[in-house]
Amino acid sequence: MANSFASKTFTTLSDLHPNMANLKIIGIVIGKTDVKGFPDRKNIGSERYTFSFTIRDSPTHFVNVTSWGSEGYIRSLSDSFRVGECVIIENPLIQRKELEREEKFSPATPSSCKLLLSENHSTVKVCSSYQVDTKLLALIYLPVKESHDFYSLGDIVANGCSLDGRIINVLAAVRSVGEPKHFTTSDRRKGQRCEVKLYDETESSFAMICWDNESILVAQSWVPRDTVIFASDVRISFDKFRNCMTATVISKTIITTNPDTPEANILLNFIRENKETNPLDAEMDSYLRESVNLNTIVDVYTVEQLKVKASKNEGKADPFYGILYAYISMLNIDDDAMTVVRHQCSGCGYVVNEASSTCTACNKNSLEFRSVFLSFHLLIDLTDHTGTLQACSLTGRVAEETLGCTFFSSHRARGGLRLSVLSCKLADPVEASRSLSGQGKF
């Protein structure tokens, strides 16, 4: 290691075995989970807390570390270091890894052992980067899987639902990082969510969801259109609402930022060469739209209740969300006076004037001209047994998903546009009846 550690003896991860004791290990943290609490079986009514992290000391050796203890100890220990920092672990307990059980929820490691930290006997110390050998620091840029062992985003989209539920590796560039959204579930558990949009040579926009605070902290450090990530062991799912595939960061996932591999360097050159192009694509409005976790929306309203709540919330900045069982009672797409398409700037997303098709915000410099793209902008009426909500906005990708169609413009068509509705999703009558029971007569 570095000069400051030259006289100290560290046990390498490759030499670990269960009978060893009084160890001192140094490594760089390449992955970390959130703190969690569980009921203590020995002390009814109390909780034990835990979190895990993964350390590495060579290109081929890394190991999982788990710590259990009181809430104060665990939270303090977890807060003392982050992914990318080097730590010295003293007096860990070495245990043989239960392969099938351990790697179901933890990162897969080449070691047959795992480390356990005791509140009373083990210590973890953070090292300053100048104290550590640069070879150790460089390990943060090496993926934990083979550099060629990944799916392109285009491959994921092409395979579609056949990959639903699969855990795979992904190499992609960061297109945007959303703001972390904090929420409370119906059973009063607090959570957070951050949506990252990825892209590569094959796909212009692909969503990756982070649910834990540690991965969100890492994501917040990424520079859009200038960062490449290798995400090992992310879960691929089919999003029924968006009708597309998405990736989710799970407890097994280890993300390598700007990996030092030939494949990553090729992708990095691609995104830097195409940094200013901003290609038009059908995902643009989804990329620009603020992300809302639909799974946390559980309150069911009638039209009448929505009107009452809206009147009470008048003047308040924060929106409220809910579920409405209703039918579209007005959808006018043939009236020449109706605006069903809007022009948006591909650079900033603002609505631009149709006549000029120029964004005044982005195109101050003619050398940086931004093109525009078309998106749905429909006004509909929604009706249930209690009344009608008029002029509801149905726009962008949500409009396409709701109507099950795309559009083409034609100067010969009335109003310059003609739509074909291909499918319509109906609410389950039983589900709607149960949700609305006691709220009024049908």
In 3D space, the residue among 29, 232, 223, 249 whose CA is nearest the CA of residue 139 turns out to be 29
**130 falls in which pLDDT band (50, 70, 90)?**
confident
Q: Is residue 37 domain-shared with residue 129, that is, in the same domain?
A: yes
Q: Cα(170)–Cα(428) distance, rounded to whole angstroms?
A: 36
Examine the pLDDT at 204 and tell me if it is beyond 60: yes
In 3D space, the residue among 68, 85, 71 whose CA is nearest the CA of residue 32 turns out to be 85
Examine the pLDDT at 143 and tell me if it is beyond 60: yes
pLDDT tens across 241-257, in order?
A: 878 899 999 999 999 99
What DSSP assignment string belongs to 371-415?
-EEEEEEEEEEEEETTEEEEEEEEEHHHHHHHHT---EE-SSSGG
Domain presence at residue 185: yes
Residue-wise over 313-351: b if at least 16 C-beta within 10 A, else e?
A: eeeeeeeeeeebbbeeeeeebeeeeeebebbbbbbebee
pLDDT at 65: 97
pLDDT tens across 41-55, in order?
A: 777 777 889 999 999
Domain presence at residue 183: yes
Q: Cα(304)–Cα(176) distance, rounded to whole angstroms?
A: 38
pLDDT at 243: 84
Q: Give me the mean pLDDT over the 393-402 stretch.
A: 74
Domain presence at residue 293: no
pLDDT at 414: 36
Looking only at the bridges linking them, the beta strands covering 113-117 and 61-69 are: parallel
Domain presence at residue 285: no
> At 104, which amino acid appears?
K
Average pLDDT, the chain: 80
Q: Give the end of a domain, one of 250, 279, 308.
A: 279
Examine the pLDDT at 219 and tell me if it is beyond 80: yes
Domain presence at residue 350: yes
Q: Is residue 242 domain-shared with residue 366, that is, in the same domain?
A: no
The CATH number of whichever domain residue 23 belongs to comes to: 2.40.50.140
Q: Is residue 121 domain-shared with residue 169, that is, in the same domain?
A: no
Q: What is the largest CA-CA distance in the chain?
A: 83
In whole angstroms, how far apart are CA 345 and each of 251, 349, 357, 362?
A: 38, 5, 8, 8
Examine the pLDDT at 186 and tell me if it is beyond 80: no
State percent of the chain over pLDDT 70. 73
Greater model confidence, 319 or 176 = 176
Examine the pLDDT at 318 and tell me if it is beyond 70: no
> At 336, which amino acid appears?
D
pLDDT at 46: 79
Q: Is residue 92 domain-shared with residue 171, that is, in the same domain?
A: no
Examine the pLDDT at 308 and tell me if it is beyond 80: yes
Q: Give the end of a domain, one of 140, 169, 198.
A: 140
Domain presence at residue 243: yes
pLDDT at 253: 97
Q: Cα(324)–Cα(381) distance, rounded to whole angstroms?
A: 13
Greater model confidence, 391 or 91 = 91
What is the token pair recorded at 28?
């760089």
Q: Is residue 26 domain-shared with residue 136, that is, in the same domain?
A: yes
**212 falls in which pLDDT band (50, 70, 90)?**
very high
Q: Is residue 116 domain-shared with residue 172, that is, in the same domain?
A: no
Range with the poorest average pLDDT among 30-34, 49-53, 91-95, 280-284: 280-284
pLDDT at 440: 45
pLDDT at 413: 40
Residues contacting residue 128 through CB under 8 Å, at least 6 positions apart: none
pLDDT tens across 413-439, in order?
A: 433 333 333 334 556 666 666 666 655
Q: Give the end of a domain, one of 92, 114, 140.
A: 140
pLDDT at 45: 74
Rg (CA), the chain: 26
Q: Is residue 268 domain-shared with residue 336, that is, in the same domain?
A: no
Q: Is residue 248 domain-shared with residue 340, that is, in the same domain?
A: no
Greater model confidence, 406 or 9 = 9
Q: Give me the mean pLDDT over the 92-106 stretch.
A: 86
Strand extents, DSSP E, 178-250: 181-184, 190-199, 206-210, 228-239, 244-248
pLDDT tens across 346-394, in order?
A: 555 555 665 556 665 555 444 455 566 677 777 788 899 999 887 787 7
pLDDT at 351: 58
pLDDT at 278: 45
Residues contacting residue 317 through CB under 8 Å, at least 6 positions apart: none
pLDDT at 441: 42
Q: Is residue 346 domain-shared with residue 416, that is, in the same domain?
A: yes
Give the helix/strand (H/E) hosting 436.
Answer: helix 429-436
Range(s) of the domain holding residue 351: 326-426
Q: Is residue 128 domain-shared with residue 9, that is, in the same domain?
A: yes
Q: Total structural domains in the chain? A: 3
Asked if 236 contacts 245 with a C-beta cutoff of 8 angstroms, the reply is: yes
Greater model confidence, 11 or 360 = 11
Whole-model pTM: value is: 0.63
pLDDT tens across 168-179, in order?
A: 999 999 999 988
pLDDT at 222: 93
